[in-house]
Amino acid sequence: MQRSHALVMGGSIAGLLAARVLTDHFDRVTLIEKDRLPGGAAQRKGVPQGRHVHTLLSKGWNVIKHYFPDIDAPGEDGITPVDWPHALCWFHYGGYKPRMESDIYAVMASRPYVEWQIRRRVLALPGLTVLQECRVRDLVASPDRRRIAGVRIQQKGEAEETLTADLIVDATGRGSRSPKWLAALGYGRPDEHEIDIDFMYTSRLYRRKPGALGGAKAAYMLPAPPHGGKRAGALCSIENDTWLVTLGGWLGEPAPQDESEFLDFARTLPAQDLYHAIKDAEPLTGLAIHRFPSNLRRRYEAMKRFPDGYVVLGDALCSVNPVYGQGMTSSALAAATLDRCLSAQRRRGSLAGFPKRFFRQVAKEIDRPWRLAACEDFRYPEVRGVKMPGTDVVNWYMKKVHQATLNDPAVYKAFINVMHLLKSPVSLFYPDIAFRVLRARLAQRGAGWGRGVRGAAQLATG
């Protein structure tokens, strides 16, 4: 099977992880990035959401550790994960989740720092070439239009040229031009499922105050939808002895625009912990504002015709509400799926039919974070979009789960395992957990409770 050259468009986390995987399967890999890549943990123009709170969930951390075993080296040489339930002060549904020790580790760091730690390891890989400040102008199809044979590129100050490759990966993010390019070549466009949430948020850095938050390293202050407001706040301890604070809200809730509004907004969150932590803290930066219009998923697996030699992953495939922290982990899962599919494809002797097989497999990985985000957002009746059947029943049960987590560590740990994509949502419907949820809500033990639990469990399997 011809595996001479692979090409990745996009040098963000999804593209970097794809490049790492491809170096195990191809002789040469070319990474194309339209920006100039910084030499350290600096913000990039092409990542407008990079100044805001990010979380690398436990499942994503496990995947990245697999590909970069030294990435948790101490000090500036790596990333230090934290025990998530122990590190987090989390107020939700009218109460605090228990802080407790666990075996569920995740990463609290700035997005530029995580990206830099991955990038510097990827750029050191043998057989990798990086083209910076280089734009992809178009796709180049084979004469019979059965495959994408290359891309037309233009480097800064240079004339256009064509690069050919055996496999091309689009990791250019939510603004991907793949739908337009594929339609122009006669393949049609993927269906797009969109859920309008109009989530707007503002972030800034503060000097960390020792002893604040009762020793916790992060704080989540979240509402109880649909009637508990639309405002949320997050604080994470990140590198350089700083706090990164993000405040925002659903459905056009105006995010703070200046310093006084920032503190006023923090004061109106469902609990005061975050506000008290920052009200006398030293701000280190101005405000960074970003608007996230909708959850967006492109269904490439459902296209009737798709060319060989071309796949799409990362936010170019699926982009969900950042409040749930699933973006980096979803990219890691897609890269791991690419790896598995390429290993399986080797037995077939060629790359023919590879994109369809990859899209079918990666759709299964995306389903879980997509369903989790979509169900949570649809708690607000004003949200519009493609609503999966049974969403309201699942949300009915999950509200009971959220409430049970406030006092039952076993239910909380089961929920954290699902949140961090370590276990299926169906695990929350297992008899031992369902019994604990039921016990926590004995006042709601109506005749329909048992039927509701069983029905929600069936719908969660989807």
Is residue 138 scored above 70 in pLDDT? yes
pLDDT digits (tens, 9 = 90+) for 145-154: 999 999 999 9
Give domain 5-68+114-192+297-373's CATH architecture: 3-Layer(bba) Sandwich (3.50)
Per-residue pLDDT, 76: 66
What is the topology classification, in CATH, of domain 79-106+193-293?
D-Amino Acid Oxidase; Chain A, domain 2 (3.30.9)
Per-residue pLDDT, 2: 61
Is residue 443 scored above 50 in pLDDT? no
Q: Enumerate the domain spans of the chain.
A: 5-68+114-192+297-373, 79-106+193-293, 386-460
Is residue 447 scored above 80 in pLDDT? no
Read off the pTM: 0.93
Per-residue pLDDT, 75: 66
Per-residue pLDDT, 412: 97
pLDDT digits (tens, 9 = 90+) for 233-283: 999 999 999 999 999 999 999 999 998 899 999 999 999 999 999 999 999
φ, ψ (nearest 5 deg) of residue 290: -140, 150
- Residue type at 355? P
Residue 128 — pLDDT band, cuts 50, 70, 90? Answer: very high
Is residue 458 scored above 50 in pLDDT? no
% of the chain exceeding 90 in pLDDT: 86
pLDDT digits (tens, 9 = 90+) for 299-318: 999 999 999 999 999 999 99
Per-residue pLDDT, 359: 98
Per-residue pLDDT, 444: 46
The mean pLDDT of the chain is 92
Instruction: Return the HEC string of the chain.
Output: CCCCEEEEECCCHHHHHHHHHHCCCCCEEEEECCCCCCCCCCCCCCCHHHHCCCEECHHHHHHHHHHCCCCCCCHHHCCCCEEHHHHEEEEECCEECCCCCCCCEEEECCHHHHHHHHHHHHCCCCCEEEECCEEEEEEEECCCCCEEEEEEEEECCCCCEEEECCEEEECCCCCCCHHHHHHHCCCCCCEEEEEEEEEEEEEEEEECCCCHHHHCCEEEECCCCCCCCCEEEEEEEECCCEEEEEEEECCCCCCCCCHHHHHHHHHCCCCCHHHHHHCCCCECCCCEEEEEEEEEEEEHHHCCCCCECEEECHHHCEECCHHHCCHHHHHHHHHHHHHHHHHHHHHHCCCCCHHHHHHHHHHHHHHHHHHHHHHHHCCCCCCEECCCCCHHHHHHHHHHHHHHHCCCHHHHHHHHHHHCCCCCHHHHHCHHHHHHHHHHCHHHCCCCHHHHHHHHHHHHCC
Residue 346 — pLDDT band, cuts 50, 70, 90? Answer: confident
From 445, 205, 173, 407, select the one nearest 312 (Cα to Cα).
Answer: 173
Q: Provide the token pair at 31.
A: 């990474």
Is residue 230 scored above 90 in pLDDT? yes
Per-residue pLDDT, 455: 46
Per-residue pLDDT, 46: 78
Provide mean pLDDT across the span 371-399.
Answer: 94
Provide mean pLDDT across the span 348-374.
Answer: 94
Strand pairing category for 191-207 and 384-385: antiparallel
pLDDT digits (tens, 9 = 90+) for 49-88: 888 899 999 999 999 999 999 998 876 677 989 999 999 9
Provide mean pLDDT across the span 393-407.
Answer: 95
